[in-house]
Structure 1
Amino acid sequence: MFELIRSGGWLMIPILACSVAALAICLERLWFLRSSRILPEGLLAEVWELIRSGEMTPERLRSIREGSPLGALIVAGLNNSRHGREIMKESIQEAAAPVVHEMERYLNSLGTIAAITPLLGLLGTVIGMIRVFSAIMLQGTGNANVLAGGISEALITTAAGLAIAIPTLVMHRYLQRRVDSLVLVMEQEAVRLVEVVHGERDVNFS
């Protein structure tokens, strides 16, 4: 494996760096975007029970807000519930912006890696072919080792770039879709609480 990497030339260094960065981002985002962390089960029922029993204190609000992204939206709505339904919904939408931004963290970087690694591979191909033609100009076609080395470098970097770009692009699309799905569910849950607080919906958080 090391010989194969070395045969690819110096462009294998940024390609390998991109692979390490992509793997780290994917693992971190998969851990961060767990449903149990973003949408804790039973949170709405717990919040409503605290409201109904009059036990919702500033300390509990702080704990709920810091506990999960859904909690942050719920608390933003509750803090403005006395101003009416529309203001409560607007405050939830405003609170959602930084929450979504945090959920999409590093996804642009992952997309960039998916875009540049094939280009790095292509650059390696061009450099390898330049080396081949330079060797032909200087030595003719008789030195097979030099020709094979240039062609090998071109093929290895291209293959490496594509091998990293393809799974990275797949993970980028998957993670972006996961963020969109989680945000949709968070908004639906927050709106349910708004409607229950203002008596527009029966209490049913099961």
Structure 2
Amino acid sequence: MWELVRAGGWVMIPILLCSLGAVAIVAERLWSLRRARIVPAELMPQVQQWIKSDQLNDDAVLRLRRHSPLGKVLAAGLASRHLDRAAVKESIEDAGRHEVHELERYLNTLGTIAGVTPLLGLLGTVFGMIRMFSALTSAGVGNPADLAHGIAEALITTAAGLIVAIPALAMHRYLRGWVADIVVEMEAASIALINTLYGGGFPATPSAPRRRSPKARAVAS
């Protein structure tokens, strides 16, 4: 393994650092984005029970905020429950945006690694070709070892860049989709909370009385 790294030249160092960073980010995100930690299944029924049984107080809201990311979103809405429906919805949306930002932490870095490592491999390929043509210029074809070294450097860095980039790109797409699914679940829980607080539908807007035509007034009279 070490011989391959040495044969690839100095470009292998940033490629190896990118691989370590990608592994660390994927492991951390897989652990942090567990559904049982983000959107516990038992949390929303418990909150609904508090509301229906009139057991909701400031201490319960504080415990809810410390419980999970979904708890923080629901607690933001419950903290504004004395206001109207629009204010509660706005509070939930503000808290939700913050939590989504936390869920997407390091994903941009992982995407950058997936995009940069093939370019690093290409850079190593260019350096390897330069080394090979320099050997051809200085010694002709009489020194196959120099030619082989340049070809090896070109191929090894290209392969290393792709080996790091392909799994990193796949995991980046997978984790993005995972976060999107979690956000949908949090939105569904937020809608359920608003419906529990204010009922299932928005209050109807009273309409202005319609003018009756002179003919209709004559008939009515």
Give the TM-score of the pair, scaled to structure 2: 0.88
2:65 aligned counterpart, secondary structure: helix
Per-residue deviation, 1:90: 1.3
Q: Cα deviation per residue 1:36-86 (whole Å; 9 max; x = unaligned)?
A: 011111111111222333333323212211211111111111111221222
Does residue 97 of structure 1 match 2:97? Answer: yes
Q: Give the match for residue 144 of structure 2.
A: 144
**Structure possessing the higher relative contact order (Cα contacts under 8 Å, 6 or more residues apart):** 1
Per-residue deviation, 1:2: 1.2
Q: Do 2:8 and 2:157's aligned partners in 1 also have CA atoms closer than 8 Å?
A: yes
Does residue 71 of structure 1 match 2:71? Answer: yes
Q: Give the match for residue 123 of structure 2.
A: 123
Greater mean deviation of Cα atoms: 41-50 or 138-147: 41-50
1:83 aligned counterpart, secondary structure: coil
- Give, in whole Å, the separation in 1 of the partners of 2:52 and 2:33: 31
- Give, in whole Å, the separation in 2 of the partners of 1:51 and 1:76: 15
Q: Give the match for residue 204 of structure 1.
A: none
1:55 partner letter: Q
Q: Which 5+ residue runs of structure 1 have no aligned equivalent?
A: 202-206
Per-residue deviation, 1:101: 0.4
- Give, in whole Å, the separation in 2 of the partners of 1:53 and 1:196: 12
- Give, in whole Å, the separation in 1 of the partners of 2:71 and 2:105: 19
Q: Give the match for residue 18 of structure 2.
A: 18
Does residue 172 of structure 1 match 2:169? Answer: no
2:159 aligned counterpart, secondary structure: helix
- Give, in whole Å, the separation in 1 of the partners of 2:80 and 2:57: 15
- Give, in whole Å, the separation in 2 of the partners of 1:59 and 1:81: 14
Q: Cα deviation per residue 1:75-104 (whole Å; 9 max; x = unaligned)?
A: 111111221222211111111111000000
Q: Give the match for residue 185 of structure 1.
A: 185
1:68 partner letter: S
1:90 partner letter: E
Per-residue deviation, 1:199: 2.3
Q: Give the match for residue 52 of structure 2.
A: 52
Q: Do 2:61 and 2:79's aligned partners in 1 also have CA atoms closer than 8 Å?
A: no
- Give, in whole Å, the separation in 1 of the partners of 2:175 and 2:11: 28
- Give, in whole Å, the separation in 1 of the partners of 2:143 and 2:76: 72
Give the TM-score of the pair, scaled to structure 1: 0.94
1:193 partner letter: L
Does residue 159 of structure 1 match 2:159? Answer: yes
Q: Give the match for residue 214 of structure 2.
A: none
Greater mean deviation of Cα atoms: 69-78 or 122-131: 69-78
> Number of matched residues?
201
1:95 partner letter: A
Q: Cα deviation per residue 1:93-149 (whole Å; 9 max; x = unaligned)?
A: 111111000000000000000000000000000000000011111111110000000
- Give, in whole Å, the separation in 2 of the partners of 1:63 and 1:8: 54
Greater mean deviation of Cα atoms: 52-61 or 151-160: 52-61
1:44 partner letter: M
**Runs of 4+ in structure 1 over 6 Å off:** none
Matches within 5 A, 1:190-201: 190-200=190-200
Q: Give the match for residue 41 of structure 2.
A: 41
